[in-house]
Structure 1
Amino acid sequence: MRPMLKLVLVLAMGVLTQACGITPVEPFRNDPLIGQLINTATGEILEMDTLVDDLLQADVIYLGEKHDNPEHHRLQRRIIQALIAKGKHPQLGFEFFSTGDTPLLLDFVDSHRAKHSDVVEKKVGTMLRKQLGWDTKSDALWSYYLELVCLAKKEALVAAGLDLSDAQKRRITRKGWDKLTKIEKQSIFSTHLDDKNYQDYMYDLFAKVHCGMKNPRMQSRLFDTWVARNDTMAHTITELHDTQPDRPVVVIIGGGHTEHNLGVVDRVRHLKPGISQVNVGFVEITRTPSPVHDYLAPLELEGYAPSPAHDYIWFTQRVSYQDPCERYKRMLEKSRLHKRE
Structure 2
Amino acid sequence: MVDTPRFEGATAYAYFDGATGASLTFDDVAARARAADVVVLGEQHDQAVHHELQRRVVAALAAPNVRLTVGFEMLSWGYQGALDRLASGQLDPDAFAAEIDWKKAWGFPFELYRPIFQAAVAAQARLAALNAPRELVRAVRQKGLASLSAEELRQLPDLDLGDELHRAWFAGVFASGGHPATAGEVEAFYVAQVVWDESMADGAARALADGAEQVIVIAGAGHVARGRGIPQRVERRRPGTRVVSVVPLTGVDGDNAIDRLRQAVVNGEADILVVPRFEREIDL
TM range (shorter): 0.7 to 0.9
**C-alpha separation in 2, matches of 1:288 and 1:204:** 26
Match of 2:200 in 1: 233
- Give the counterpart letter for 1:235 in structure 2: D
Match of 2:23 in 1: 45
Structure 2 segments unaligned to the other structure (5+ residues): none
Match of 1:248 in 2: 214
Deviations 1:293-337, CA, capped at 9 Å, x for gaps: 5434368xxxxxx851111111123335xxxxxxxxxxxxxxxxx
Secondary structure at 1:102 match in 2: helix
The normalised TM-score by structure 2 is 0.85
Match of 1:68 in 2: 46
Closer/same/farther in 2, CA of residues 127 and 86 from structure 1, 3 Å limit: closer
**C-alpha separation in 2, matches of 1:77 and 1:283:** 17
**C-alpha separation in 2, matches of 1:90 and 1:296:** 33
- Taking only aligned residues, the RMSD between alpha carbons, in angstroms, comes to 2.8
Q: Answer whether contact 1:37 1:46 (CA < 8 A) is retained.
A: yes
The normalised TM-score by structure 1 is 0.72
2:184 corresponds to 1:217: yes
Q: Which moved more, 1:151-160 or 1:50-59?
A: 151-160
Q: How does 1:98-109 map to 2 (within 5 A)?
A: 98-109=76-87
Closer/same/farther in 2, CA of residues 52 and 157 from structure 1, 3 Å limit: same
Aligned length: 274
**C-alpha separation in 1, matches of 2:163 and 2:20:** 30
**C-alpha separation in 1, matches of 2:166 and 2:80:** 30
Match of 1:152 in 2: 120
Match of 1:180 in 2: 148
**C-alpha separation in 2, matches of 1:178 and 1:52:** 44
Q: Answer whether contact 1:92 1:249 (CA < 8 A) is retained.
A: yes
Q: Answer whether contact 1:93 1:159 (CA < 8 A) is retained.
A: yes
Structure 1 segments unaligned to the other structure (5+ residues): 1-30, 113-120, 300-305, 321-341
Match of 1:81 in 2: 59
Q: Which moved more, 1:69-78 or 1:151-160?
A: 151-160
Deviation of residue 100 (structure 1)?
2.3
Q: Which moved more, 1:306-315 or 1:63-72?
A: 306-315
Deviation of residue 212 (structure 1)?
5.1
Match of 1:266 in 2: 232
Q: Answer whether contact 2:18 2:272 (CA < 8 A) is retained.
A: yes
Deviation of residue 111 (structure 1)?
1.9
Match of 1:323 in 2: none
